[in-house]
């Protein structure tokens, strides 16, 4: 037994240095591996940082490019908006003015047509009256021959008074011929002397029309007002309201003009002037409400 024990101790004594050397080698190998791993990690980190720096640089470049594009787009949008606004202003104003002139011309043609129709009707009546006068003259006895040396009876030297019909016809002829000043003088004279006759509303309306042609909008408004105020039953009243509104627009009184157009729509919904009044309200930017179907009064001439 002692022999085996001695042998064991000898083996242990030989094995301990070997174990120690093996452990030392393993430690050194492990340290080398750890150092190599650290170097690898450092390389990977350096590579990642390089790639991340490149990505950041590319991202900054892309952001700068996008910012430049946005600035250019903003400039283009502003320029486009200004050009569109300039086009709207340069085209809208002449178009509106042209539409107003066309409406005014339509109104003048309408009034001229009414005047021609009235003249034809009155000429027919005048022809009938002339026939009656001729028949009356034919039935009168012949006048007695005047005695020699004695003056004839009558207002010798007194100028005859101009009749209302002739005064109106002369003024109307000047109006149609474009002689505004003569027509205005004649119609004013007619209103002064024949304000209660059947043709007085026409004379007053033409006075307002002459002021409108002269672009004297204050005079035109006063003239149309006189038609509405002095001849409320005349067929000229709807036109007077509408043309008063047009004159107020030209005079810069847009709110008062809108009131006149609304009145035309409410009082004369079936009249063609109601549609024109709605168009004017749209141009003025005033909302057009549907007017109630009011009963239209039959216009009568005085």
CATH number at residue 267: 1.25.40.10
Q: The tokens of 130 are what?
A: 């002339």
CA-to-CA distance for 225 and 247, rounded, in angstroms? 11
Tokens matching residue 133: 């006068």
Q: What tokens appear for 205 in the block?
A: 């309306």
Domain co-membership, 112 together with 231 = yes
Q: Is residue 169 a part of any domain in this protein?
A: yes
Instruction: Tell me which of 27, 57, 88 is where a domain ends.
Output: 88
Identify whether 273 is part of a domain: yes
Same domain, 23 and 111: no
Question: Do residue 113 and residue 189 come from a single domain?
Answer: yes
- Verify that 64 and 104 share a domain, yes or no: no
Of 204, 206, 196, the residue nearest 173 (C-alpha): 206
* Whether residue 71 sits in one domain with residue 34: yes
Using the 8-state DSSP alphabet, how is residue 155 labeled? -
- Whether residues 107 and 197 share a domain: the answer is yes
Tell me whether residue 223 is in a domain: yes
112 and 76, same structural domain? no
Statement to judge: residues 79 and 41 lie in one domain: yes
| Whether 173 and 262 share a structural domain | yes
Query: Same domain, yes or no, for 178 and 76?
Result: no
176 domain-assigned: yes
Residue 234 has φ and ψ, to the nearest 5°, of -75, 150
Burial classification of residue 267, based on how many CB atoms lie within 10 Å of its CB (0-12 exposed, 13-18 middle, 19 or more buried): middle
| Block residue for tokens 């004369």 | 268
Domain identity same for 118 and 241: yes
Specify the pLDDT at position 245: 94
Would you tell me how many other CB atoms lie within 10 Å of the CB of residue 226?
17
Look up the pTM and report it.
0.47
Output the pLDDT for position 24.
81
- DSSP-derived secondary structure for 164-209: HHHHHHHHHHHHHHT-HHHHHHHHHHHHHH-TTSTTHHHHHHHHHH
Whose structure tokens read 């209660």? 196
Which residues, 6 or more positions from 183, have their beta carbon under 8 angstroms from its beta carbon?
Answer: 171, 172, 174, 175, 206, 210
Structural domains in the chain (count): 2
Tokens of 66: 């996008």
**Residue 136 falls within a domain, yes or no?**
no
What is the rounded distance in angstroms from the CA atom of residue 301 to the CA atom of residue 197?
A: 10
Tell me: do 187 and 75 sit in the same domain: no
Q: For residue 107, tell me if it sits in a domain.
A: yes
Q: What share of the chain is helix, strand, coil (3-state, %, to 5)?
A: 80, 0, 20
Which of 31, 60, 88 delimits the end of a domain?
Answer: 88
**pLDDT under 50 in the chain at which residues?**
139, 141-160, 291-302
Write out the residue range of the structural domain in which residue 39 sits. 19-88
- In whole angstroms, give the CA distance from residue 258 to residue 215: 20
């Amino acid at each position: 037994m002692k022999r085996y024990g001695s042998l064991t101790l000898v083996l242990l004594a030989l094995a301990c240095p070997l174990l120690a050397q093996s452990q030392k080698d393993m430690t050194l190998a492990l340290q080398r591996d750890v150092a190599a791993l650290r170097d690898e990690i450092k390389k990977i980190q350096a590579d990642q940082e390089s790639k991340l720096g490149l990505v950041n640089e590319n991202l900054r470049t892309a952001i700068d490019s996008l910012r430049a594009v946005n600035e250019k787009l903003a400039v283009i949008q502003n320029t486009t908006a200004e050009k569109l606004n300039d086009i709207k202003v340069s085209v809208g104003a002449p178009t509106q003015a042209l539409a107003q002139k066309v409406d005014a011309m339509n109104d003048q043609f309408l009034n001229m047509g009414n005047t021609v129709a009235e003249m034809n009707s009155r000429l027919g009546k005048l022809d009938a009256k002339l026939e009656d006068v001729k028949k009356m003259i034919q039935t009168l006895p012949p006048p007695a021959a005047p005695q020699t040396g004695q003056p004839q009876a009558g207002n010798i030297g007194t100028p005859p008074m101009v009749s209302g019909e002739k005064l109106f016809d002369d003024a109307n002829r000047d109006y149609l011929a474009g002689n505004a000043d003569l027509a205005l003088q004649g119609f004013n004279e007619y209103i002064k002397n024949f304000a209660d006759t059947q043709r007085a509303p026409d004379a007053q309306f033409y006075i307002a029309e002459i002021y409108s042609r002269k672009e004297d909008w204050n005079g035109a408004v006063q003239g149309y007002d006189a038609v509405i105020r002095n001849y409320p039953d005349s067929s000229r009243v709807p036109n007077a309201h509408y043309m008063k509104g047009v004159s107020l627009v030209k005079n810069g009184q847009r709110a008062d003009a809108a009131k006149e157009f609304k009145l035309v729509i409410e009082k004369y919904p079936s009249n063609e002037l109601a549609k024109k009044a709605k168009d004017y309200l749209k141009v003025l930017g005033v909302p057009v409400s549907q007017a109630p179907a009011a009963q239209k009064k039959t216009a009568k001439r005085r």
